[in-house]
Amino acid sequence: MTQVLVVAASVLFGLLASPGRVLAEGPAAMVTPSDQRPSTAVSVPLPENKVCLDCHSEPNQVMTKGEIQVSLYVSPEDYNSSSHRVISCVACHEEVLEQTEEQHKSLAGTILTGHALRLQMSERCGKCHAGAVLETYRQSFHWAELELGGRKTAACADCHPAHAVLPADSPRSSVAPANLPATCGQQGCHPGATPAFTAGLVHSSPTRQGPWSPVRIIWKAFIVLILFDTLKDGPIILFELVRRLRRRSSIPSLTAMEVGSHVSD
C-alpha cells in the first residue's frame, strides 16, 4: 500500500519537485583526478610571475593591517615546482590587476585578510576547480562553517596550500596519503589524526557513489524513514481535520432526524 502511495505521489509531484532539492544531504562522488586538475598544455613556470616574485620572495616582507601583521612571502622554489606554476599570480589575486603600482605598494587597505580572505579565495578556487571537487566541498562541514563565518575550519588552501599545491600522488603533496595525518592535524584542527581518520573521503557525498555503496544505502534508508513519517502523520492529521469538519456539518441533519422521530412518536 505504502509503495503504491509512494509511486502515485512521485508521478503526481515529481515534476513539481525541484524547489526542495537543496534539502538533499547530498550528492557528489568520489572525486576523480580529471575533476581535480584543470588541464593545461604548458608545464614550465610562467615567466610573467617573475614580476611578482621579485618582491614577494623576500621572506621578511609583511603587511600591517590594523593590529595584525600578514606575511606577504611566497617561496619561489615551492611555487615554481607546484602544480600552479603554470598559472598567473593574478589569476587568483585578480584585484591586483585593478591597482596602480602606487596603490599596490601602499596596500590601500583593500586587501582582505583572515576569514574574509579565506572565504574569498576558496570561492576563487572554483573558477578552475569546478565539478565534483567543488560540489563536495560545498557540502562539507568545513565549508558550512567557513560560509557561516567560522574561523577554526578548513578553507581550500588550508589543506591544499595554493602556493605549493601538488597532486595527491606526489610524495611531497600535503594531501598525499602519507602526509594526510600531519595535514589534518595541523594548527590543532584534528590533533592526533591517525591514518584510520584520514582514510575517510572528504571530497565525497552519497549521491555520487555507486548504487550499492554503504553510505548511499544509509542515505536512502533515511529518506525512506522521512517518507514513512510523512505518510504516517500526514493522513492522520488530514483525515482527523476532515472528519471534524464533516461531523459538525452533519449535526443539523441529525437534529432533524431526532425531531422527526419525536414527531412520529
Least distance to other proteins, CB of residue 110, Å: 24
98 scored as a contact of other proteins (CB under 8 A): no
Residue closer to other proteins (CB basis): 128 or 215: 215
- Contact predicate 148/57, CB 8 Å: no
Count of Cβ atoms closer than 10 Å to residue 263 Cβ: 7
Q: Is 14 in the site for other proteins (CB under 8 A)?
A: yes
Measured from the CB atom, is 97 or 212 closer to other proteins?
Answer: 212
The burial class, CB within 10 Å (0-12 / 13-18 / 19+), for 22 is exposed
Per DSSP, the residues of 183-215 read: HHHGGGSSTT--HHHHTS-SS-BGGGS-TT-HH
**Of residues 59 and 150, the one with the C-beta less far from other proteins:** 150
User: Which residues are CB-neighbours of 143 under 8 A, at least 6 positions away?
Assistant: 122, 137
- From residue 2, alpha-carbon distances to 155, 220, 221, 226 in Å are 44, 16, 15, 13
Q: By C-alpha distance, which of 49, 43, 22, 25 is closest to 215?
A: 25
Q: How far apart are CB 12 and other proteins at their closest, in Å?
A: 8
Would you state the torsion angle of the CA atoms of residues 178, 92, 130, 148, taken in this order, to the nearest 10 degrees?
80
The residue within the footprint of other proteins, chosen from 70, 111, 121, 193 (CB under 8 A), is 193
143 touching other proteins, by CB under 8 A:
yes
| Residues between 222 and 251 that touch other proteins (CB under 8 A) | 222-227, 229-230, 232-245, 248
Min CB(198)–other proteins separation in Å: 8
CA distance 265 to 260: 9
Site for other proteins contains 168 (CB under 8 A): no
Q: Find the shortest distance in angstroms from Cβ 21 to other proteins.
A: 8
Q: Quick one: which segment of 13-21, 49-57, 59-67, 256-264 binds other proteins (CB under 8 A)?
A: 13-21
For residue 148, give the C-alpha cell.
557561516
Tell me how far, at minimum, the Cβ of 187 lies from other proteins, in Å. Answer: 15
Task: Using the minimum distance from each CB to other proteins, give the nearer residue, 55 or 225.
Answer: 225
Cα separation, 155 vs 157, whole angstroms: 6
Q: Residue 255, interface with other proteins (CB under 8 A)?
A: no
When asked if residue 182 is in the footprint of other proteins (CB under 8 A), the reply is: no
Instruction: Indicate the DSSP class of residue 259.
Output: H
- The contact set with other proteins (CB under 8 A) reads 6, 9-10, 13-14, 16-17, 19-25, 27, 138, 141, 143-145, 147-151, 190-194, 196-197, 199-201, 204-207, 213-215, 218-220, 222-227, 229-230, 232-245, 248
